[in-house]
Structure 1
Amino acid sequence: MAATYGDVRHLLPGNYKRQITDWLEEDCPSLDYGGFVVGESEGEARLLGKSKGIIAGVPFVDEVFSQLGCTVEWHIKEGSELNLTPIHHCATVRGPIRKILLGERVALNILARCSGIATKSASMLAALRKEGWNGILAGTRKTTPGFRVVEKYGILVGGADPHRHDLSHMTMLKDNHVWACANNRAAADGGVADKDVTSIAKAIPRAVLAAKSAGGFATKVEVECRSVEEANAAIEAGADIVMLDNFTPDGVREAAKVLKDAWNGKRAFLVEVSGGLTEENAAAYACPDVDILSTSSIHQGTGIVDFSLKVSLR
C-alpha cells in the first residue's frame, strides 16, 4: 500500500486546505465569545492520546492550526500506535491561546475520526494476513459527504486500499447501470427488458463496450455480478474487474475458482468480493482466487481514537 512506500500526505490535493477553511468557519461563523475571555496571550497546549489506536490525520491538524497562525510539533510519527499508558503526549501546539482554542474542536474531530479509520483498517488487514491471505483489502465509496478525503486518507495510513475516490476514478457498472442499459436497448427495440439473470448477462457486454468507449484505454472497467454467468459475460466483453456481490463464502470460493480456471491464459482480470464484509466474517471469503475484498466497515461507522488538548500558559 501507499503508506509502505512514502509519505501519504504527498497524495493530498490542494483543495483539502479549502475544506479546512470551511470547517473552521462552520465552527465559528460569528463571534468567538470564549476567545474574547482568553485574549491574545501566547502559550502552548499538549495534544494527548487517551486510547489505543493508530494515529492518522497529521496534515489536517497541521493545516487547521497553520490557518490560525499556530505551529504543531509532533512527538509521534503518523501511522504509529499509541502506547498503552493512559496518556500519550502526541504533539505540542504553540501560538495565541485564543487561536489554539479556536482550532481545538475541528482538529480533534478530524484526528479522532481519521485515526479510528486507520486503526480499523490496520486491524482488519492484520486479521486477513494472519489467515494467510495476501490480496487487497479496500474501502468503498460509501463515505461521508464533504469528509471523503479524510476518510480515504485514514484508510491509506492503515495500510488498506482506498478503492475509488469518485465516479471518475475507474468505471463501476453496478446492477442499476446494466438494468438501465438493458431497458434502453429494449425500448429502442420496442419492448421492456426483464430483470432476470439471462437478460442482464446479455446486457453486460453492451454496457462494458459503452464504458470502454467513453473511458478509453486508461480507465479500468469493473462490473458488479450476481452470478458466474454475468461474470463470464463481463470478462468476455473486456471487463478488468468482476465484483462478486453478496455471495455466500462457499459461493465466492466456487465462483472465483470457476472463473479463474475458465479464463486462465485467455483473459487477465481481477476478482473482487463485496457485500456485508466485516472483520468478523471477511476471512471466510478470503481464498487464493479472490484478489480484492472491499468493505465500508473499515471507514463507515467505525469507532474513534480519543484525543484531548490541554493548555498551559508560558
Structure 2
Amino acid sequence: MILQKEIEHFLEEDLREDDVSCTLVGNENVRAVIFVKEDCVVSGLEIASAILEYMKISYVLKKKPGEKAKAGDVLYELNGDSVSILRVERLVLNFLSHLSGIAANTRDYVQIAADAAAAAGIHAPKIAATRKTTPGIRKFEKKAVLDGGGDPHRQSLSDTVMIKDNHIEIMGLENAFKEAKRQTSFTKKIEIEADTKEQAVLAAELGADIILLDNMTPDQIRDVIALLEQKNLRNRVILEASGGIRKENLKEYAATGANVISLSAVTNDADWIDVGLDIVK
C-alpha cells in the first residue's frame, strides 16, 4: 500500500511556490515516454504509477514488475499537462532508476547462487535482503528485491524475533531464548544468531526456528551442518548465512547447504539504472 502522505512527502522536496523551471513552458497537453537506456530488471512501477496518478497524468504501462527490459525499451507512455510532467520527472525517474538497479542486482545474485547450488547438486539458497536499507523507502527497496527474485527478509523488528550477539551478551543465550519464547506469539518464528558451532548446536537444541550463522566461512558452515546432522538436528532448523558475502565469494556460500543467504549488498551495492523521459512531439 502506498499512502497519499508518502507521495506528498516525496513531492515536497521539489515543489515550491516559485517554481519557474517547470512553469515557464506554459500549461499545455503533451505526450511523453519513460524508457530505459540500459538492460535491467524493471522495478519501482507501483510508486511511479502512484505519483503519476496523484498528479493526474494519464499513462499506459508497457512493462511489468520483475520483467527484463533491454536498452531503449519503453516503460511508460504518458499524456498530461506539461507542467505536471516536468514536475514529477526527476522523482519518478529516481525511483525507477534506484529500484530497477536493486532488482537487477538481486537477479544477478539469485542466478549466481542457483548455478553454484546446481553444480553442487543441492537446492539453491534463498537470497534475502537485510534491514540495511534507505530510511523512509525500505518497503520500496524490499519490493525491488522481490522483483529481482530475492526474499525481503524482515520488513521490521516485529516480523521475527531475532536474538543477536548483544542479547546473548546481556542475558545469555538460553535465558534470552526462554524469555523470547515466553513473550512471543506462536505465529512468529524465533531466530538466534550464532558465532560458533557450539552456539549453533545449542540454538538448535533449544528449539530455534532459524539459526543465523554470522560471519562464518564456508568451511565453518559445512562443519555446523555436519554437526547438526550427527545430532539429528539439521532438519529442525533453517540455516541462514550472513556477513561479508559479496558476488565474489557467493558461489562458495551457495554450495554449503545453507537455506538462506542474507546480505546488504543486494540493496547497498546496486548501481542505478539509466532511465530517461522524453517529450514526444
* Short-chain TM bin: over 0.9
1:148 alignment counterpart: 138
After the TM superposition, which segments of 4 or more aligned residues of structure 1 sit over 6 Å from their partners? none
Does the residue aligned with 1:99 lie in a helix, a strand or coil? helix
Is 1:82 matched with 2:83?
no
Q: What is the distance in 2 between the residues matched to 1:80 and 1:14? A: 21
Quickly say closer, same or farther: Cα 1:287–1:260, change in 2 above 3 A. farther
Structure 1 residues 277 and 30, CA, compared in 2 at 3 Å: closer, same or farther?
Answer: farther
Which runs of structure 2 are paired with 1:12-51 in the superposition (5 Å)? Answer: 13-15=1-3, 17-51=4-38
Letter in 2 for 1:296: S
Task: Indicate if the aligned counterparts of 1:260 and 1:289 stay in contact, CA closer than 8 A.
Answer: no
Residues 287 and 114 (structure 1 numbering): CA distance in 2 closer, same or farther, change over 3 Å? same
After superposition, the C-alpha distances for 1:249-297 in whole angstroms (9 at most, x for unaligned) are: 21111112212332348x7111110001112211111236311111111
Aligned CA distance change for structure 1 residues 219 and 180 (closer, same or farther; 3 Å)? same
Compared with structure 1, are the counterparts of its residues 29 and 173 closer, same or farther at alpha carbon in structure 2 (3 Å cutoff)?
A: farther
Q: 2:155 aligned with 1:165, yes or no? A: yes
Asked whether the 8 Å contact 1:38–1:97 carries over to 2, the reply is yes
Q: In structure 2, how many angstroms separate the alpha carbons of the residues matched to 1:29 and 1:178?
A: 50
The separation in 2 between residues aligned to 1:260 and 1:45, in whole angstroms, is 60
**One-letter amino acid matched to 1:112:** S
Go from structure 1 to structure 2 and tell me whether the alpha carbon gap of 1:260 and 1:270 turns closer, same or farther (over 3 Å shift): farther
Which residue of structure 2 lines up, in the alignment, with residue 56 of structure 1? Answer: 43
Indicate the residue corresponding to 1:262 in structure 2. Answer: 231
Conserved 8 A contact 1:257-1:289: no
* Cα deviation digits, residues 202-221 of structure 1 (max 9, x gap): x1111011112222211111
CA deviation vs aligned residue, 1:103-131 (integer Å, no higher than 9, x gap): 11110000001000000111110111112
Pair 215,30 (structure 1): closer, same or farther in 2 beyond 3 Å: farther
Answering whether residue 91 of structure 2 is matched by residue 123 of structure 1, we say no
Deviates most, 247-256 or 135-144: 247-256
Indicate conservation of the 8 Å contact 1:51/1:306, yes or no. Answer: yes
Question: What residue in structure 2 maps to residue 284 of structure 1?
Answer: 252
Query: Which consecutive unaligned segments of at least 5 residues does structure 1 have?
Result: 1-12, 182-202
Give the number of equivalent residue pairs: 276
> 2: distance between equivalents of 1:101 and 1:167?
38
1:108 maps to which of 70, 77, 93: 93
CA distance in 1, matches of 2:69, 2:271: 15
RMSD: 1.6
- CA distance in 2 between counterparts of 1:18 and 1:257 reads 51
The separation in 1 between residues aligned to 2:138 and 2:17, in whole angstroms, is 27
Q: Cα distance, 1:301 vs. partner?
A: 2.8
**Matched residues in 1 for 2:245 and 2:229: separation?**
22
CA distance in 1, matches of 2:233, 2:185: 25
> How far is 1:21 from its partner?
1.7
SS class of match (1:263): coil
Aligned residue for 2:82? Answer: 97
